[in-house]
Amino acid sequence: MAELHENQELIEKVILVGVSEQDGDDAEDSLMELAELVKTAGATVVGTLIQKREQRHIGTYVGTGKVEEIAELIEQTGATGIVCDDELSPIQMKNLEELLDTKVMDRTLIILDIFAERASTKEGKIQVELAQLKYRSSRLTGFGRSMSRLGGGIGTRGPGEKKLEIDRRLIKDRIAQLNRELKEVQRHREVNRAQRSKNQVPVVAIVGYTNAGKSTLLNRLTDAAVLGEDKLFATLDPTTRILELDGNQQVLLTDTVGFIRKLPHHLIEAFKSTLEEAKYSDYIFHVVDASNPQREKQMHTVYETLDNLGVKDKTVITLFNKQDRRLDQEPLHDFRADHTLSISAIKEQGLDEIKKLLAELLRENKVYVERVIPYNRAGIIQDIRKYGELVSEEYLETGIEIKAYVPMDVYGRL
């Protein structure tokens, strides 16, 4: 009788490799984050190595002695590959693969892999494939025999996988086609932005480090039903929802893709239109995981990314989230923020304070008026409701007595 074998999905076992170029850098923290990325991508970490050296080796990322050490660790642990904490050059990838006779990946490839799995909208899929192809086009020689690794595993997922074995000319053509498609999507996004500006509805962009709780906050404030998991990059595609405030005021809340240290250049370029939601917003919610010991470094990464995108002169409201999970009692500061609040989105703590603060900020740009509007001009009250805040209205013999906060253009007509 034939022996039965269970088909089990192969879980990749990898070794993490990093380089610490100076004392006091964040190499260890970065490697811990890489471990979370690898876990999110579906692999298991079986070992870690950090080499201290003045600069990364131009040919093999780490020194030749460390390469031998990695080879021994691969044999001991049965690892199926290694993941380096920085983006490898084509020659580094090729040399490491030949010397170690194993699958070689880098931080960028892992992030691209996660993005490929998580993208769900047309725009998201185009952006991910574009980033994948740009990354791979410069590494056609670097991938070596891994170019045919379509058997599965990390680095083979996503819309770009079926294009792995095409030549540079075809990749170039595909990139040009994707750029055309992306420009069309971006035009549509710009039309939406123009419409929002015309309607004078204020926009609040939610930004923050990945897994800080942005989607959970959007869900709790607006019942958006966006996927919110305790994972890195749980959601990629931006979602916009209306938030109702006191006085019939409305704002649009837009969730954005999470930031992370060493965010690949290919992704920043591909997702620029999405990330620029912050650039065209009126206010910014900067969501911070207050329970994370690395919150200061994460905040720095977020502001650095915003600076690179040209986001400036915005009112920033920093929300120190996950207070329910916080263990330390250190004071929380964000000196670049205009306002700070401590909240727990999952427990719905501090949400009323957020709405109250937003309502106050909206009033700052409006003029308070008390008027009696003649009945033959009652139509202007609809504009007050739409663009301002109608505090009260009372119907008198002479007209409608109102108390309201109105923008300057409506005030001029009053």
| Model pLDDT, residue 199 | 66
Q: Which three-class secondary structure string do you get for 258-323?
A: CECCCCCHHHHHHCHHHHCCCCCCCEEEEEEECCCCCHHHHHHHHHHHHHHCCCCCCEEEEEEECH
pLDDT band at 6 (very low <50, low <70, confident <90, very high): very low
pLDDT band at 39 (very low <50, low <70, confident <90, very high): very high
Label the pairing between strands 400-406 and 315-321: unpaired
pLDDT band at 392 (very low <50, low <70, confident <90, very high): confident
C-alpha closest to that of 71 among 97, 44, 105: 97
Collapse the DSSP code of 345 into the 3-class scheme (helix H, G, I; strand E, B; otherwise coil) and give the result.
coil
Burial track 183-195 (b if 16+ CB lie within 10 A, e otherwise): eebeeebeeeeee
Please give the structure tokens belonging to residue 39. 């876990």
What residues pair up with 44 in beta bridges, in sequence order? 13
| Model pLDDT, residue 163 | 46
231 Cβ contact partners less than 8 Å away, ≥ 6 residues apart: 40, 211
Residue 383 neighbours by CB distance under 10 Å: 16
- Lowest model confidence (mean pLDDT) among 39-43, 157-161, 266-270, 381-385: 157-161
Answer whether residue 7 shows pLDDT above 50: no
Q: Residue type for 373, please?
A: I
C-alpha closest to that of 40 among 189, 202, 154, 164: 154
Express as a percent the part of the chain with pLDDT over 90.
Answer: 39
Section 238-250 average pLDDT? 81
pTM: 0.80
Section 182-211 average pLDDT? 81
Section 54-62 average pLDDT? 94
| Model pLDDT, residue 232 | 66
Residue 156 neighbours by CB distance under 10 Å: 16
81 Cβ contact partners less than 8 Å away, ≥ 6 residues apart: 12, 13, 14, 15, 102, 103, 104, 105, 154
- The DSSP-derived string for 103-153 is EEEEHHHHHHHHHHHH--SHHHHHHHHHHHHHHHHTTTTTTGGGGG-TTSS
Section 280-303 average pLDDT? 93
Please give the structure tokens belonging to residue 332. 């929380």
pLDDT band at 229 (very low <50, low <70, confident <90, very high): low
Collapse the DSSP code of 19 into the 3-class scheme (helix H, G, I; strand E, B; otherwise coil) and give the result.
strand
**Is there a contact between 413 and 377 (Cβ–Cβ < 8 Å)?**
no
In the DSSP assignment, the letter for residue 188 is: H
